[in-house]
Amino acid sequence: MEYNNATGHIYDIQGYAVHDGPGIRTTVYTKGCPLRCLWCHSPESQCYEFELSCLPIKCLGTALCRNACIDACPEGAISADEPKAAADGSGMIQKAKIDRAKCTGCLKCTEVCFAGAVYPSGRDTTVSEVFDRVMKDAGFFKNGGGITVSGGEAMAQFDFTLNLVKRLKAAGIHICLDTTGYAPAEQFEAILPYIDLFLYDIKHMDSAKHRSFTGVGNEMILENARYLAGHGGALQIRVVVIPKLTGEETDLRKTAEFCASLGGAVKLVQLLPYHKTGRMKYDRLGLRYKLTNVEPPDDDFMLKTLEMFRSCGLNAQLH
């Protein structure tokens, strides 16, 4: 099977993943997404370009590294913060402080930070490099495991993603594609023969609300789901349940009815309760998390929602 050794941007590869499709999997996380979901738990995945991430707990103090990051910044965006007690009790230290208004994302500071307190939000790679890395985990793929290509939105780097799954399919690997469904129909038509299972997000059935919560309408997403279902694609649909946003009972029922309309192509519907575990990632990128006052749904509501989806004849589960 022919493929191009295309280049791409990724931000992580995680082995022994058990929540990204059937069996034990290795998940490749690509950079870039056309959606801006208010609840996104991976803000580092949104931009295709690499961004500056900062993890202050790793900073050993500007004195120890002789102001390396401060001197490396051409914009003067990094300075020494006020002295604070070191966590190990060794005395007072001044950690690096970033002025995000001045930072241009040149990432020169990351090249000199040996502690990893400042680091880029991803890296360049190629199809061959990713293939060689994930195949090291092939021994774990027995009994139904494989590779999941996720994001961001993996279809946003279509050339890279298509050629990666071609290479994986030629090696006999089970492939899942985790997608928002927001990509041109012809791209889904081209990639369909290489995908064993689409992990497909349905965020909201009302296009105006969908645009308000994600920045884009849902028409293309729903149409692509219909196309895949009608042309032999297998779908594992994911529905995030968020009080006051996606968690209204009438809206969820419309989602359940749409999933049921896709017929046997829908192998499973996963109901995902909203969680807050990604909030600290926004701090690392100097971004503001917008759902600070939203709480996760309670267990009773999730069980009620589960029963509603099952009443539509769907194989549904809580995730």
Q: Tell whether the model's pLDDT for residue 142 goes beyond 90.
A: no
The pLDDT value recorded for residue 276 is: 86
Q: pTM of the full predicted structure?
A: 0.95
Q: Tell whether the model's pLDDT for residue 268 goes beyond 90.
A: yes
d(CA 292, CA 228): 36
> Going by C-beta distance under 8 Å and a sequence separation of 6 or more, which residues neighbour residue 305?
241, 247, 249, 252, 271, 297
The pLDDT value recorded for residue 244 is: 86
- Compute the mean pLDDT over every residue in the chain, rounded to the nearest whole number: 96
Q: Are 144 and 20 in contact (CB under 8 A)?
A: no
CATH topology of domain 7-49+122-318: TIM Barrel (3.20.20)
pLDDT by residue (tens digit) across 4-52? 999 999 999 999 999 999 999 999 999 999 999 999 999 999 999 999 9
pLDDT by residue (tens digit) across 209-225? 999 999 999 999 999 99
Q: Tell whether the model's pLDDT for residue 1 goes beyond 80.
A: no
Q: Tell whether the model's pLDDT for residue 143 goes beyond 90.
A: no
Tokens of 162: 């298509």
d(CA 87, CA 105): 29
The pLDDT value recorded for residue 298 is: 95
Higher pLDDT, 61 or 278: 61
The pLDDT value recorded for residue 38 is: 96
pLDDT by residue (tens digit) across 283-309? 999 999 999 999 999 999 999 999 999
Percent of the chain with pLDDT over 90: 94
- Pick from 208, 203, 211, 155: which is nearest to 182 by CA? 155
For residue 293, how many other CB atoms are within 10 A of its CB?
A: 6
Where does residue 249 fall: left (phi above 0), alpha (psi -120 to 50 degrees), or beta otherwise? alpha
Half-sphere exposure of 172 (CA within 13 A, CB side): 4
Domain boundaries, the chain: 7-49+122-318, 53-120
Q: How many residues does the chain have?
A: 319
State how beta strands 175-179 and 197-201 pair. parallel
pLDDT by residue (tens digit) across 94-112? 999 999 999 999 999 999 9
Tokens of 259: 């999933």
pLDDT by residue (tens digit) across 64-93? 999 999 999 999 999 999 999 888 888 899
Tokens of 39: 């609840």
pLDDT by residue (tens digit) across 172-191? 999 999 999 999 999 999 99
The pLDDT value recorded for residue 109 is: 98
d(CA 10, CA 8): 7
In CATH, the architecture of 53-120 is 2-Layer Sandwich (3.30)
Read off the pLDDT band of 198 (50, 70, 90).
very high
